[in-house]
Amino acid sequence: MMDWSEEEVAVLDQIERFAREVLAPAAAALDEEARFATCHLPAMANLGLMGLNLPEEHGGLGLSGPALYRAVELVAGACGSTASLLTAHFLATDSLQIGGDQALRARFLPAACKGALGAFALTEPQAGSNPADMSSTATAEPGGYRLRGSKCFISNAGAADFIVIFAKTDSAAGARGISAFVVEPAKTPGLEVAPHEKTMGLKGGHVFGLSLDCFVPEENRLGAEGTGFRTAMKVLDNGRIEVAAQATGIACAAQDAAIVYARERQVGGQPIADFQGLQWMLADNANDLAAARALGLQAARLRGSGERYSSESAHAKLFASEAAWRIADRALQIHGGYGYCRDFPLERYLRDLRIFRIYEGSSEIQRNIIARELLR
Active site residues: 360
User: DSSP label at 124?
Assistant: B
Sign of CA dihedral 10, 13, 19, 22: negative
Instruction: Report d(CA 254, CA 295) in Å as an integer.
Output: 19
CB of 221 within 8 A of CB of 165?
no
CA distance 204 to 31: 6
Rounded Cα–Cα distance for residues 364 and 370 (Å)? 10
Q: Would the CA dihedral through 354, 40, 290, 331 be positive or negative?
A: negative
Burial of 181 (0-12, 13-18, 19+ CB in 10 A): buried
Q: How far apart are CA 4 and CA 105, in angstroms?
A: 26
Neighbours of 2 (CB within 10 A): 10
Contact yes or no for 168/215 (Cβ under 8 A): no
**What is the distance between the alpha carbons of residues 57 and 102, in angstroms, rounded to a whole number?**
11
- Secondary structure (3-state) at 178: strand
Q: How far apart are CA 305 and CA 64, in angstroms?
A: 10
Q: Rounded to an integer, what distance in angstroms lies between the CA atom of residue 316 and that of residue 241? A: 6
Buried b (16+ CB within 10 A) or exposed e, 91-120: bbbbbbbbbbeeebbebbbbbbbebbbbbb
Instruction: State the DSSP code for 60.
Output: -
Angstrom CA distances, 351 to 245, 322, 332, 342, 347, stand at 17, 13, 12, 11, 6
Q: How far apart are CA 235 and CA 369, in angstroms?
A: 15
